[in-house]
Amino acid sequence: MSSETLPAFIESSNVERKQSLSEEQEKTQKPRVGEGFEPISKRQMKKLIKQKQWEEQRELRKQKRKEKRKRKQLERQYQLESNSDGNDRKRIRRDVVHSTLRLIIDCSFDSLMVLKDIKKLHKQIQRCYAENRRALHPVQFYLTSHGGQLKKNMDENDKGWVNWKDIHIKPEHFSDFIKKEDLIYLTSDSPNVLKELDESKAYVIGGLVDHNHHKGLTYKQASEHGIDHAQLPLGNFVKMNSRKVLAINHVFEIILEYLETRDWQEAFFTILPQRKGAVPTDKACESSSHDKKSADVEGGLDSDSSDEENSRHELDSQHKEEKQDKENSNQSTVNSVPH
């Protein structure tokens, strides 16, 4: 081989070597069956595609939320401007007469609830706060033993609670700052029934959402601590298909309604949800007496029909006896005739 052709040969051999190396790298990089590679299923592929679309639309969703908030803000501003410069609102607020009655939600049962029930308790407290702000006779609202899971949930999902007005939120237990003789614990297990509300007292509602897992707990605690207890006069005015235990916000709203109307029955039927199947006790009594009368009438009809049937049987038996006697007399006559 001449010196002229030697560089060309070396260069071509280098090119071939590079090509073979690249082919080997491709082969090693390709997944082989049975070497730990699992093919992606159609379902997994769909999930990956949906996840990618979700990530791509993140900014679009954020922009839509901003537009929605802006639209609501403009609507509120328009309502305020069209409300005669707020004169109507000022007139409504002047009609409000604050009650001296203290209404406490006792949140000392935090450790007895799972997170799902803590969230329900938070929602019920939000409802109580909103209703008290709208009420014509708002109460002195207290939230006591505030901490633990409830506070954490409120911090994460409702940061505005720190700016709530007309409410006393305290980490202490209510017995630490309210006299025992002023306290009345509201519990459906109490044998005492309220007749009216004393606005000089502090009424306590147990902040426990437990789906009846801890029956009689609030009554037991009130008794052990020597605190007066009572239940709302629900059974005197209402007959329900379901149990008498009410949600926290329902008890709260019933008390607000009673302070406005001074009528327990109206308060109950204004607040109780339809699913409870509540009817006035007088109507329930009328219904039961009507059912009883109907049953008596049916029983009377049955007895009359049975009497008629018995008399019919007696007549039939009498006819049979007369017929039998007649046959016997005929037979005796035939026998007495001489042959």
So which residues are the catalytic ones? Answer: 210
Structure tokens at 288: 């039961």
Cβ atoms of 166 and 133 within 8 Å: the answer is yes
1, 9 Cβ separation under 8 angstroms = yes
Sign of the Cα pseudo-torsion (187, 192, 194, 200, in order): negative
CA dist 15 and 22 (Å) reads 11
- How many Cβ atoms are within 10 Å of 198's Cβ, its own excluded? 13
- Whole-angstrom Cα distance, residue 127 to residue 158? 13
Where on the phi/psi map is residue 226: left (φ > 0), alpha (ψ -120 to 50), or beta? Answer: left
Q: Which residue's structure tokens are 């009368």?
A: 293
**Distances from the Cα of 61 to the Cαs of 43, 55, 145, 250, in angstroms?**
25, 10, 39, 36
**Dihedral pair phi/psi, residue 206, rounded to 5°:** -70, 120
Residues whose CB is less than 8 angstroms from the CB of residue 132 and which lie 6 or more positions away in sequence, other chains included = 138, 139, 141, 166, 167, 252, 256
Judge residue 117's burial from the number of C-beta atoms within 10 Å of its C-beta, 0-12 exposed, 13-18 middle, 19 or more buried.
middle
d(CA 208, CA 189): 14
Query: What is the identity of the amino acid at 63?
Result: Q
Distant-in-sequence, close-in-space partners of 203: CB < 8 Å, separation ≥ 6 = 101, 102, 103, 104, 184, 185, 186, 197, 255
